[in-house]
Homo-oligomer: A and B are copies of this chain.
Amino acid sequence: MNGAESLVQTLLSGGVNVCFANPGTSEMHFVAALDAHPGMRCVLCLFEGGATGAADGYFRMSGNIAATLLHLAPGLGNGFANLHTARKAGSGMLTIVGDHATHHMAYESPLKGDIPGLSRSIAHWTRASPDATSVAPDGAQAMAAARSHNGQLATLVLPANTAWQEATGPAEPVPPSPLIRPDLARIQAAAHTLQLPGAALMVDGPTLHGDLGVLAAQIVKKTGARLMAPYLAARIRRGAGAVAFERLAYGVDDNAAVLKDVRHMVLAGAQRPTNFFAYPGKPSLPEAPNTAVFDLCSRGMDVGYTLNTLAECLGITTTDPYDCWPQALPALPSGPMDMALIGQAFAHLLPENAIVVDESITLARFFMPPTQQARPHDWLHTTGGAIGFGLPNAVGAALACPQRPVFVLTGDGSAMYTLQALWTMAREQLHVVTIVFANRGYQILRGELANVGVTQVGRNALRMLDVEQPQLDWVKLSEGHGVPADRVTDVDGFVASLRAAMAKPGPHLIEVVCPV
Contacts and interface: CB of A to CB of B under 8 A. Distances in A.
A386 B77 CA distance: 11
Interface string A256-292: 0000000000000001101111101000110000000
A403 interface: no
Contact of A103 (B31, B104, B284, B461): B284
A161 to B, nearest CB: 7
Interface stretch (A19-27, A168-176, A307-315): A19-27
Contacts of A467: 44, 46, 423
Contact of A461 (B32, B426, B465): B32
Question: Copy number in this complex?
Answer: 2
Contacts of A417: 46-47, 78, 420
Interface string A67-79: 0000011111110
A26 B26 CA distance: 38
Interface in A173-209: none
Interface string A446-476: 0011011110111111011101011111111
Contacts of A78: 49, 77-78, 80-81, 388, 417
B444 A25 contact: yes
A237 interface: no
B470 A34 contact: no
A285 B476 CA distance: 47
Interface in A37-80: 37-38, 40, 42, 44, 46-47, 49, 72-78, 80
A479 to B, nearest CB: 5
A31 B114 contact: no
B80 A452 contact: no
Nearest to A81: B74
A272 B108 contact: yes
A479 B456 CA distance: 33
Contacts of A76: 80
Contact of A161 (B75, B122, B280, B388): B280
How many chain A residues sit at the interface, stated as a range, is 35 or more
B383 A103 contact: no
Given A23-B445, A122-B113, A383-B110, A480 B469 contact: no
Nearest to A481: B472
Given A80-B74, A84-B74, A103-B278, A121 B110 contact: no
A472 B482 contact: yes
B29 A452 contact: yes
B460 A38 contact: yes
Contact of A477 (B77, B458, B464, B477): B477
A442 B482 CA distance: 18
A110 B452 CA distance: 19
A6 to B, nearest CB: 16
A271 B46 contact: no
Contacts of A461: 31-32, 34-35
Nearest to A89: B110
A401 interface: no
Interface in A8-32: 21, 23-26, 28-29, 31-32
B100 A21 contact: no
A477 B478 CA distance: 8
A28 B278 contact: no
Interface string A418-449: 01100100110000000000000010110011
A512 to B, nearest CB: 16
A88 B160 CA distance: 21
From A31, A73, A458, residue with most partner B Cβ within 10 Å: A31
Contacts of A304: none
Interface string A114-149: 100110111000000000000000000000000000
Contacts of A25: 277, 444-445, 448, 451
A232 interface: yes
A503 interface: no
Given A452-B29, A460-B38, A470-B423, A77 B81 contact: yes
24 contacts: A24-B442, A31-B445, A31-B464, A31-B465, A36-B458, A40-B460, A49-B78, A78-B80, A100-B277, A100-B278, A101-B284, A104-B275, A104-B278, A107-B272, A109-B276, A110-B232, A111-B385, A114-B121, A117-B117, A121-B121, A164-B452, A423-B470, A426-B470, A477-B481
Interface of A: 21, 23-26, 28-29, 31-32, 34-38, 40, 42, 44, 46-47, 49, 72-78, 80-81, 83-85, 88, 100-101, 103-104, 106-111, 113-114, 117-118, 120-122, 160-161, 164, 232, 271-272, 274-278, 280, 284-285, 383-386, 388, 413, 416-417, 419-420, 423, 426-427, 442, 444-445, 448-449, 451-454, 456-461, 463-465, 467, 469-482
Which 4 pairs across A and B sit closest by C-beta, in order of nearness? A77-B80, A470-B482, A74-B386, A477-B480
